[in-house]
Structure 1
Amino acid sequence: MARYVAEGAEVVLVTCTLGEEGEIIPPELAGLGSWAADQLGGYRSGELSAALRELGVTEHRYLGGIGGWRDSGMAGTPAAEHPRAFASGSLEDQVLQLQVIVDEVRPDVLVTYNSFGGYGHPDHIRAHEITMAVADSARRVFHIAAGGGAVLPPEAPPNEITTTIDIRPYLDRKIAALRAHATQVTVDPPEFALSNGVPQPIGEEEYFTLVKGPREGAETDLFGGLE
């Protein structure tokens, strides 16, 4: 995102929940969790705003408005039964909400999770579903792909990489943005870790799978070859 902002593209981020059910890394912030004060969503909204400032992104929308949909947690947890749980919410309503944003922004490129939601999170899978439902509104659609060294669940689909983006000039911005998400990410360059503590490379490149649109020019640029 930092690269394309710097190159003059209009970058718009759409998030679907506040991450209310996430695990919390710093022990001193554990009381924010849904099992206690249930204030994690608001705190993470602040973290996201800080991360976007580091990346230079100024356009951000919450699907259905802030707090419109709630983090569903992992499948089978009580959070999945919440009346505002994103993954079990009305697919039709969610697609319409995203279509309103897409009609306003008129993007050339859409980027979303793959059908497995990256690591199987139900909300990520639903985000994939609603994005693919509006895919005809963009000239290209990409799924986020994993780079070398990433730890993937055995049930994840094949990791096909069609597009590799060099982000070395913006790596410091990426690291700063990751640090802003302190409740859920530990950053120790050249690696980071989620709450499971498994180190993963931050990486000087980012990887994508083209699933719709022309391939010519897309090998090293999401917008390559588009006029």
Structure 2
Amino acid sequence: MPDATQRLLLVHAHPDDETIGNGATMAKYVAEGRQVTCVTCTAGEMGEILVPDLAHLAADQEDGLGEHRRTEIEDAMAALGVTDHRWLGGFGRFRDSGMKWHEAGHAIAADETDDRAFANADLTVAADELVQIIREVRPQVMATYDQFGGYGHPDHIQAHRVATYAAHLAAVPSYRPELGEAWDIAKIYWNAMSESKMREGLRKLRDAGEQTFFEGMDPDGPMPHFVTADEHLSCAVDATAFVDRKMAAMKAYPTQIQLDGPFFALSNNVGDTAWGVEYYRLAKGALGPLGEDGLETDLFAGL
């Protein structure tokens, strides 16, 4: 049964990442009375701007996108019901590192980065900021990216490193006691996307005549790194009852997410399960009781 003393911590790189990956889970857990804390490591200052009228906010012009995305994430958190959102080290402490696309189809580091870029941050300095949050919140469960950051973005990879190192340091009683009493996170998960569900969704999109969304991805061909083979999945949180809140939160990011883009097309053609069931890989801790499909149904399973 849901318990008000159960606490989930999520660590993300930029505003909108949390909603795309975990929005339904967050909305469900908040509604059930569990504590949800979301930490965002940068303000996404280097993101692509999809609203032409806001093009002047770009980093090479007014450099105001971070402040704008600050309001977007506030609206998204309100849509999800999350009341504990934090910026790692405070707003503006770490800057979006930017990226470029590799010919293989994944993100890599940009040719040039700002000295304040999150990817350039000293690992221990950044981790200590999260150690303090971990020791204050005392979460039983943490969710973040895998070692490749899902699709290779330097900030996602750094978020994985910082979260992993901070979780270790936070559990050491003798490590910087001034940051709070030691706390060991019982279960750590990496965000995932089910390969079978992705293939099913792509087939339905193609059958519906949607050829431009997820262009280049063959339902029967190789999948990109952010898609996880089903045998590696550990947990499936069915939050389809809260998918409307996730969609509302996604709509709070007009500079980043197109309302007629692939996310909404997938939802329109596949239904609520496209974004309402969110998958995870267990990176630390023991599996709890499993559901009929052989996966946990709750991140707190077994605790």
- Asked if these proteins are the same fold (TM beyond 0.5), I'd say yes
Residue-by-residue CA offset, 1:82-127 (whole Å, 9 max, x unaligned): 1110001111100111100100000000000111111110000000
1:156 counterpart (212, 225, 245): 225
- What is the 5 A alignment of 1:49-198? 49-74=74-99, 75-78=109-112, 80=113, 82-136=114-168, 137-147=184-194, 148-149=197-198, 156=225, 159=228, 160-188=232-260, 191-192=262-263
**Aligned-pair CA distance for 1:177:** 0.3
- Aligned partner of 2:56 in structure 1 is 31
Tell me, in whole angstroms, the C-alpha distance in 1 between the residues paired with 2:147 and 2:154: 10
- What is the 5 A alignment of 1:11-26? 11-26=36-51
Q: Is the 8 A contact 2:288 2:302 kept in 1?
A: yes
Q: Is the 8 A contact 2:192 2:227 kept in 1?
A: no
The 3 A distance-change label for structure 1 pair 209 and 65 is: same
Q: TM-score, normalization: structure 2?
A: 0.68
**Aligned-pair CA distance for 1:187:** 2.9
Q: Is the 8 A contact 1:16 1:63 kept in 2?
A: yes
Tell me, in whole angstroms, the C-alpha distance in 2 between the residues paired with 1:48 and 1:217: 34
**Aligned-pair CA distance for 1:188:** 4.5
* Unaligned residue ranges in structure 1 (runs of 5+): 194-198
- Percent same amino acid among aligned pairs? 44
Q: Supply the AA of the counterpart residue of 1:77.
A: D
Q: Is the 8 A contact 2:188 2:283 kept in 1?
A: yes
- Aligned partner of 2:32 in structure 1 is 7
Q: Give the structure with higher Rg (CA).
A: 2
Residue-by-residue CA offset, 1:31-80 (whole Å, 9 max, x unaligned): 111011100000001000000000000001111111000000011332x2
Tell me, in whole angstroms, the C-alpha distance in 1 between the residues paired with 2:289 and 2:91: 37
Tell me, in whole angstroms, the C-alpha distance in 1 between the residues paired with 2:285 and 2:299: 11
Residue-by-residue CA offset, 1:182-211 (whole Å, 9 max, x unaligned): 11011349x527xxxxx6555221111011
Tell me, in whole angstroms, the C-alpha distance in 2 between the residues paired with 1:169 and 1:212: 28
SS of equivalent to 2:120: coil
- Aligned partner of 1:196 in structure 2 is none
Tell me, in whole angstroms, the C-alpha distance in 2 between the residues paired with 1:214 and 1:224: 9
* Unaligned residue ranges in structure 2 (runs of 5+): 1-25, 100-108, 169-183, 200-213, 268-273, 291-295
Q: Provide the aligned length of Structure 1 versus Structure 2.
A: 218
Q: TM-score, normalization: structure 1?
A: 0.89
Tell me, in whole angstroms, the C-alpha distance in 1 between the residues paired with 2:276 and 2:227: 22
The 3 A distance-change label for structure 1 pair 158 and 54 is: closer
1:214 counterpart (282, 286, 291): 286
Q: Is the 8 A contact 2:191 2:281 kept in 1?
A: yes
